[in-house]
Chain A
């Protein structure tokens, strides 16, 4: 564009004149959708809830005196059907569910 042209300068000067805000920004913000408060509150509740549910199930199936450490030892020795091993597997399942919930929430 020919900047030496007076018409160019006239148009550019007119474009450069600033308009006062006059509450425009406030009106725009008032017309935006409400904040995403709900989305932030259900996520941790779901994660904690699912983990607690898994833990409760693991505890319910574990006989008294069963050790989680013993369970993992059993699993490493391919004894997965012992009560201790099942407790360890249930705990792992609970952690896996929590991880999946977190991964699903990533945008």
Chain B
């Protein structure tokens, strides 16, 4: 007999709403925790403890506000929006967070092409991302780690679409500049 398919996010959400089903919610957490925690680790410059605290806060807020989810967007997009808000609130408590564009000029090698670097250079990526501005890390986190479109990222982060695109371009140029010399070593 064929194995039954895993329940969809929508089915699990309905189970939570109708029956207060915590097992269904556990499946939702299990399904999305990895990506949400990874995004928050990048946003918090690799602060694992803080990222996991924010991820936990995010899922508790998801539970409390699940009735407000309207099924108009992907469930994951909705979760990331909550996660970004949690990160921004925390960042504001610690210091002034700025998602605005800074005055940096784009790196000269923005359009240069490199071969795929050695896998070992991936280890340096996390360190390189720490050098990005808040807005750049947020844009990269949304578009690559949360896998949102530019439009979805703009909505989730509460910034104009053009700003998101510029942040992504600048962030990638900075990362290239930082990681390319390391590639030479391999």
- How does the 8 Å CB contact mask read for A14-41 relative to B, with 1 for contact and 0 for none? 1101110100110111011101100000
Which of A7, A13, A15, A35 lies in contact with B22, CB distance below 8 A?
Answer: A35
Say which size band chain B's interface belongs to.
35 or more
Provide a sorted-by-A list of 19 A–B residue pairs whose CB atoms are within 8 angstroms.
Answer: A1-B168, A5-B172, A7-B172, A10-B117, A11-B175, A14-B145, A21-B33, A21-B34, A24-B37, A25-B30, A25-B33, A27-B56, A29-B29, A32-B25, A32-B60, A33-B63, A35-B20, A35-B22, A36-B20
| B144 CB within 8 Å of chain A | yes
Chain A residues in 8 Å Cβ range of B147: 15
| A79 CB within 8 Å of chain B | no
Extra 20 A-B pairs, beta carbons < 8 Å, given A11-B125, A25-B33, A33-B63 = A1-B168, A5-B113, A6-B114, A6-B116, A7-B172, A8-B144, A9-B116, A10-B117, A11-B140, A12-B144, A14-B38, A14-B144, A15-B147, A18-B34, A25-B29, A27-B56, A28-B33, A29-B22, A31-B56, A32-B22
A-B contact count (CB 8 A): 79
Chain A residues in 8 Å Cβ range of B117: 6, 10
Is the beta-carbon distance between A24 and B29 smaller than 8 angstroms?
Answer: yes
- Measured between alpha carbons, how far is A28 from B35 in the docked complex, in Å? 15
**Tally of contact residues, A, Cβ under 8 A:** 26
Is the beta-carbon distance between A19 and B38 smaller than 8 angstroms?
Answer: yes
Query: Which partner residue on chain A sits nearest B35 by CB separation?
Result: A15
User: In the complex, how many angstroms separate the beta carbon of A76 from the nearest chain B beta carbon?
Assistant: 42
User: In the complex, how many angstroms separate the beta carbon of B128 from the nearest chain A beta carbon?
Assistant: 10
| B59 CB within 8 Å of chain A | yes
Is the beta-carbon distance between B26 and A7 smaller than 8 angstroms?
Answer: no
Known contacts being A7-B175, A21-B30, is A15 close to B144, with CB within 8 Å?
yes
Is the beta-carbon distance between B38 and A15 smaller than 8 angstroms?
Answer: yes
- How does the 8 Å CB contact mask read for B147-183 relative to A, with 1 for contact and 0 for none? 1000000000000000000001000100110010000
- Measured between alpha carbons, how far is A1 from B52 in the docked complex, in Å? 29
User: In the complex, how many angstroms separate the beta carbon of B48 from the nearest chain A beta carbon?
Assistant: 10
Q: Which 7 A-B pairs have the closest CB atoms?
A: A11-B144, A6-B116, A15-B145, A19-B34, A28-B59, A25-B29, A18-B34
Residues B1-57 near A (CB distance < 8 A): 20, 22, 25-26, 29-30, 33-35, 37-38, 52, 55-56
| B115 CB within 8 Å of chain A | yes
User: In the complex, how many angstroms separate the beta carbon of B151 from the nearest chain A beta carbon?
Assistant: 13
Is the beta-carbon distance between A10 and B116 smaller than 8 angstroms?
Answer: yes
Chain B residues in 8 Å Cβ range of A8: 144, 172
Which of A14, A19, A33 lies in contact with B64, CB distance below 8 A?
Answer: A33
Chain A residues in 8 Å Cβ range of B113: 5
